Amino acid sequence: MARMLMKGTYNILIPLVLIYGIQAFEICPKLQGYLLLIDDVWSVETWENIRNWLPYTKGSKIIVTTRFQAVGAACSERDGTDSLHTIKVLSEANSKSLFNLGVSESRSSKYTIDMEKEEVHEEIWKYCGGLPLAIVTMAGHVACNPTKNNDDWNKMCRTLFPEQVVPLTLDGVTRILDYCYNDLPPDLKTCSLYLSIFPKGLTISKKRLTRRWISECFVTEKQGLSAEEVAETYFNQLISRKIIRPEDHSSNGKVKSFKVHDMILEYIVSKSSEENFITVVGGHWLMPAPSNKVRRLSMQSSGPKHVNLTKGMNLSQVRSLTVFGSQNRRLPFHSFNNGIIQVLDLEGWKGMTDKHLNDICKMLVLKYLSLRRTEVHEIPSKIEKLQYLETLDIRETDVEVLPKAFGQLKRLCSMLGGSKTPKKALKLPHEKNKEPMKALRILSGIEINEDSTAVASLHQLTGLRKLAIYKLNIQEGGQTFKQLRSSIEYLCSCGLQTLAINDEGCDFIDSLDTMSAPPRYLVGLELSGKMERPPKWIEDLNNLYKLTLSVTVLRTETFKLIQNLPKLFTLTFTLSVQKDDRDIVDILEENKLLTDREIVVPPGGFKSLKLLRFFATLVPRLSFAVTKEEVMPALERIDMRFQAFEGIYGIETLKSLQEVHLSVGNQADEITKFLVDELKDSPNHLAKEYAEKWPQIITD
């Protein structure tokens, strides 16, 4: 981004004040001298309004940053241009490179563009004034409109840039955003406006967004695709159009979370306010009070000045309420019409208590309810009144057991509970379901013990696509043991796609080896805890994309068993049981003895594997076979988290490897620390041809 900075020299100011927010303009006039930093001013008008508030005090200094040359000029006009420091915009070469990269990233089989033939593309990036936001936004627009011809692009350039090639102002960038927004299909317009619910700078979960789209009926089944698949398609289109940018990726390679650029978000918030689509209260944006009834309310500030900002608003038509901020505050539940609220997202709200659930259970058409990271302890039986509920998220709460009434939620699709760190699980109700929950697709974070009578009806959940059991406490060979095994085998035959089981001592996972048929629909499999051996049928899972196994089966034979899985993207070896478990240590030592104290990754196979991870107290010596045949040819990254480490060898032969991440525990011994340092220093002792191929070693 182009940024200008007012600069100058000054003596020590007394008092020297660093203030964030609008309060600065109230305090500065009272000071004898001040140093004020104002970051990211977007327009001359905004600067003039700020300047009129500030006194001219001898010895004071104002530092302003902006993306726009016109703002920089306005800030420095009284002092001369010597106080203006311009950070150069992108050169023509870099602008063109960024534009072409943006187009390339946004391409797919649906959007293919011949850059050689489309000479008008050059004109587009030249008009963007070297501003990265403008360049990547136009690149996304070009990539997603493959049918447009030269005349179309020329017409667009004349519309957007009537002044030819001049430095872009805020108005120019806004014109670009406006043009790209108006070009969106109606469904994507709605989905992009929905982004205004989230605060500036927030890292947003993809699943949180797409589940809410579905609950708001913005996304439905279409042309043989499920609502979830359509939502995934829409989400990817927003990425291609550069409306959102990926922040983190899941271990399956898909985007896990994202952010929205500040200027794009401000545009979306403004557009959303104009259309009375979403009302934002508090937070970064100063939006006018809605003249119409509020339909979707986003409460973004936890400061005391914003507590009563809903006062005077007509909240009787609110159908969606989202609360951000961790402070304890009162919500105007009494102002809502319980008969129309469909989405209630209170994730992270510290004011949430069990008594609020009585009000929530009156919201009879509620579809999406998130109480994640709140202080709720118990779900009341009254929840059975929420007959339209599709998503219930109570992860990272103190809820330990579901009520008997849980089975009455016939439209529930996603039941999300428990927590991974620390490991906590949600007990199923002590009652058999009289009628199966046929709509249930995700059941995650549960605990199964000998008292779990609901296990007897688990096989009735034939629509289940993900089952994640965080804790098992059942007797080997007992009735619950047999019922659970039978249910899992049956659900796998019905289309279960993701199965996760953490077994710390029931020998349940080992019993899965004798399943009558391989679970061929699985794309994700996680078997953690104590295992003697991986199920042999794993080698037949041709659709498997993500595999997690206990480190207790980390041996050469395991790599040989799974090396021919054609789609395997991520392979993880992990250990979640207690560190002082001597059985685990004995198993690891025995595994090493089987292959001369070294685990060898054989050549050939693993054609699609890109991520290899080891999360355990002890990571034994690991070697990649050095032969003429390639070893893990697509592998890009290795992650290791450990207390003790015995070394990793042969990584210079991994032609695609880019990074090795090592997370060393604070109780690591001197040998482990020495081996880590040796690994980092290895390129200095290798021949040049190997040193140049050495991956980046990152430690923390």
What burial class does residue 37 get, using C-beta atoms within 10 Å of its C-beta: 0-12 exposed, 13-18 middle, 19+ buried? middle
pLDDT tens digit sequence for 492-533:
999 999 999 998 877 899 999 999 899 999 999 999 988 888
Which position has the higher pLDDT, 30 or 107?
A: 107
pLDDT at 677 over 80: yes
Of 443, 441, 433, 496, the C-alpha closest to 468 is: 443
CATH of domain 186-265: 1.10.10
Of 205 and 356, which is predicted with more confidence?
Answer: 205
Tokens at residue 98, please? 């960024």
Does 19 score more than 70 pLDDT? no
Query: Which of the residue ranges 11-15, 271-275, 630-634, 658-662 would you say has the lowest mean pLDDT?
Result: 11-15
Give the Cα separation of 346 and 366 in Å (integer): 13
Residue 284's region, left for phi above 0, alpha for psi from -120 to 50, else beta, is: alpha
- Cis omega (within 30 of 0) for bond into 15: yes
For residue 168, pLDDT over 80 is answered with: no
Beta bridge partners of 257: 205, 248
Q: CA 499 to CA 467: how far, in whole Å?
A: 5
Q: What CA–CA distance (Å, rounded) separates 209 from 391? A: 12
Q: What is the DSSP letter of 424?
A: B
Supply angle C-alpha 349, 342, 377, rounded to 5: 35
DSSP state of 287: P
Per the DSSP assignment, residues forming a β-bridge with 399 are none
Q: What is the arithmetic mean of pLDDT over 253-272?
A: 93
660-663, long-range: CB < 8 A, 24+ apart: 660/695, 660/696, 660/697, 660/698, 661/637, 661/698, 661/699, 661/700, 662/697, 662/698, 662/699, 662/700, 663/639, 663/699, 663/700
Query: By mean pLDDT, which of 186-190, 309-313, 449-453 is the weakest?
Result: 309-313
* Residues of the chain by 3-state class (helix, strand, coil), percent to 5: 35, 20, 45
pLDDT of residue 498: 98
Mean pLDDT of all residues in 152-170: 77
The band of 21, judged by pLDDT with boundaries at 50, 70 and 90, is: very low
Q: Decide: 209 and 236 in contact? Cβ < 8 Å.
A: no
Q: Which of 629 and 169 is assigned the larger pLDDT? A: 629
pLDDT at 489: 96
Please, are residues 450 and 427 in contact by the beta-carbon 8 Å criterion? no
Residue with the bigger pLDDT between 559 and 7: it is 559
pTM of the model: 0.85
What is the spatial distance between Cα 388 and Cα 430, in angstroms, rounded to a whole number? 23
Pick from 125-129, 275-279, 535-539, 694-698: least confident: 125-129
Over residues 250-256, the mean pLDDT reads: 90
Terminal C-alpha separation, the chain: 31
pLDDT digits (tens, 9 = 90+) for 327-339: 666 777 888 888 9
pLDDT for 18? 37
Residues 6+ apart with CB under 8 A from 486: 459
Least confident of 140-144, 272-276, 286-290, 602-606: 286-290
Confidence of residue 183 (pLDDT cuts 50, 70, 90): very high
């106080």: which residue's tokens? 83
User: Which pLDDT value is given to residue 121?
Assistant: 63
Residue with the larger pLDDT of the pair 115 and 668: 668
Question: What is the percentage of the chain residues whose pLDDT exceeds 90?
Answer: 48
Residue 616 clears pLDDT 80, i.e. is over it: yes
What's the maximum distance between 2 C-alpha atoms anywhere in the chain?
Answer: 85
How far is the C-alpha of 627 from the C-alpha of 615, rounded, in Å? 27
- Rounded to whole angstroms, the Cα distance separating 668 from 455 reads 42
Model confidence at 27, in pLDDT bands (50, 70, 90)?
low
Q: What gap in Å lies between CA 291 and CA 549, rounded to an integer? A: 57
Cα distances (angstroms) measured from residue 133 to each of 245, 258, 511 = 11, 16, 55
The four Cα atoms 638, 641, 646, 652 give a dihedral, to 10 degrees, of 20
State mean pLDDT over 94-120: 67
Decide: residue 401, CB within 10 A, 0-12 exposed, 13-18 middle, 19+ buried. middle
Residue 8 banded pLDDT, cuts 50, 70, 90: very low
Half-sphere exposure (CA, 13 Å, Cβ side) for 580? Answer: 0
Query: Measured between alpha carbons, how far is residue 164 from residues 126, 128, 174, 183, 202 in Å?
Result: 10, 10, 16, 22, 36
Contacts for 683-690: CB closer than 8 Å, 24+ residues apart: 686/652, 690/652
Strands 466-473 and 442-449: parallel
Token digits of residue 293: 């009834």
356: pLDDT strictly greater than 80 = yes
Q: CA dist 635 to 607, 638, 668, Å?
A: 9, 8, 27
pLDDT of residue 217: 94
Mean pLDDT, to the nearest integer, of 422-450? 87
The model's confidence at residue 17, banded by pLDDT at 50, 70 and 90, is very low
pLDDT, average across residues 128-134: 87
Backbone angles phi, psi at 67, to 5 degrees: -95, -10
Hey, is 257 helix, strand or coil? strand
Is residue 538 within 8 Å of residue 564, measured between CB atoms? Answer: no
For the chain, the structural domain boundaries read 3-87, 92-182, 186-265, 551-700
Q: Which residue has the tokens 């090639």?
A: 165
Q: What's the mean per-residue pLDDT of the chain?
A: 85
Q: What sign for the dihedral angle of Cα 388, 393, 397, 398?
A: positive
β-strand 648-649 against 622-624: which pairing, if any?
A: parallel
Quick: pLDDT tens for 414-435: 999 999 888 899 998 876 656 8
Q: What is the pLDDT of residues 119-129, one digit of tens each?
A: 556 678 888 88
For 254-278, what is the mean pLDDT? 93
How many separate helices (H) and strands (E) can be counted in the chain? 19, 30
* CA distances to 145, 180, 282, 315 from 331, in Å: 45, 37, 14, 12
Q: Which 3-state string (H, E, C) describes 556-603? A: HHHHHHHCCCCCCCEEEEECCCCCCCHHHHHHHHHHHHHCCCCEEECC
**Residue 472: pLDDT band by 50, 70, 90 thresholds?**
very high
193-239 residue pLDDT tens: 999 999 999 999 999 999 999 999 999 999 889 999 999 999 999 99
Strand ranges (DSSP E) for 143-215?
204-205
